[in-house]
Amino acid sequence: MVLVKGYYDDDPGRKREIPLFKQVYLSAKRINKYAREYTIRIYVLKGAKVDINKRIRIEAEENLNYK
């Protein structure tokens, strides 16, 4: 799985994802001072320890129901 985060990333150490995957690492960091999101980080998440599809579905539903 690939995770892309912008400058607003509140968990650069990926503490939320580390327990869910066997391997989590920063693959790339791009900086473009002219872009709206001038810094992005691309993480690779390998070897899911839980059903990721179920977790994504739950988080998507929570975001839809957010008021």
Q: How many domains does the chain have?
A: 1
Q: pTM value?
A: 0.79
Q: For every one of its 67 residues, what pLDDT tens digit does the chain have, with 9 covering 90 and above?
A: 999 999 888 998 999 999 999 999 999 999 998 988 889 999 999 999 999 999 889 989 998 887 6
HEC string of 4-67? EECCCCCCCCCCCCHHHEEEEEEEEEEECCCCCCCEEEEEEEEEECCCHHHHHHHHHHHHHCCC
Amino acid at 50: V
Q: State in Å, rounded, how far the first CA of the chain is from the last one.
A: 29
Paired residues of 4 in beta bridges: 42
**Domain containing residue 16:** 2-64
pLDDT at 63: 87
